Structure 1
């Protein structure tokens, strides 16, 4: 994808990443630490994190297309190099969001909708991610805080370097004269 509505696609797609990846990271931490949030948001956050993981390479490719069409400067190079790290942040957030969702899924049993006169005992399902283990939950919570914080910081650094590359030296501290205004 190179352009959208006549504009470089990167300058539009990047806004989705700047908003959605930190949002997925925040929800990751909430789901890891707060069981009520986990019950309601683990599934939607896993879907959001996977969507972001799909959008990051599309945005990066659009950025590489744009990079070949602007003057090469140290700021553009720095932004490009930092931008390549976003996929790692997105992978980590998506992987842990999926783990949290799967563990939550493993911790719940489906309701028995069979006849009421037949006594049915719940049949334990095989679990893979120790959904009832407090130590595993604690490790996942710490990992969520570290991964979520690192992802938010990475996106901040990438965004700041992009803003520096785009705007440094491109505006005046004094207002520009307006034609037709008094």
Structure 2
């Protein structure tokens, strides 16, 4: 049994805001941390922790969404939204794995040469470039997926629900 209702409201409607904020925020933090050692030094353990909270929020939200889907009228837009929503978990997992790897590499490099981290943060340039490119791919992919899911959810919730004419 999952988290279905919060204070009488469908939990999905509330939890979705956590995902919409945390996943893109995690993606941005990851990209900046991988590209800029000074940002990584400031984030530290907060980067993988943020990615973990994002990762945990995704299945909670999709589970609540599946409960909601069973309690609303059948609609092709809702089904499309649900299918897109199921595709976010791999992106959130990738964000967590890459964020943890980036944090671990910088932490390991800092422990090897704490006196002189230099502008590179002590991480070799090829590794930094690979981390930055991988972070960019995963971060943009996760952000695009969140956008696609959100757009389809808004269409499912609001189609035929208002009039654009005054």
| Structure 2 unmatched ranges of 5 or more | 116-121
State how far apart, in whole Å, the 2-side matches of 1:48 and 1:4 are: 23
Matched, 1:106 2:108: yes
- Quote the residue 1:13 is aligned against: 15
Q: 1:111 to 1:36 in 2, by over 3 A?
A: closer
- Quote the residue 1:145 is aligned against: 136
Identify which range, 133-142 or 155-164, moves more after superposition: 133-142
State how far apart, in whole Å, the 2-side matches of 1:30 and 1:144 are: 9
Q: Structure 1-normalised TM-score?
A: 0.82
Aligned residues between the structures? 158
The runs of at least 4 aligned residues of structure 1 exceeding 3 Å deviation read none
| Structure 1 unmatched ranges of 5 or more | 113-121, 123-130, 176-182
More helix by share: 2
SS in 2 for 1:171: coil
SS in 2 for 1:157: helix
Q: Which has the larger radius of gyration?
A: 1
- Does the CA contact (< 8 Å) of 1:22 and 1:152 recur in 2? yes
- Does the CA contact (< 8 Å) of 2:106 and 2:123 recur in 1? no
CA deviation after TM superposition for structure 1 residue 42, in Å: 3.7
- Quote the residue 1:97 is aligned against: 99
State how far apart, in whole Å, the 1-side matches of 2:44 and 2:61 are: 25
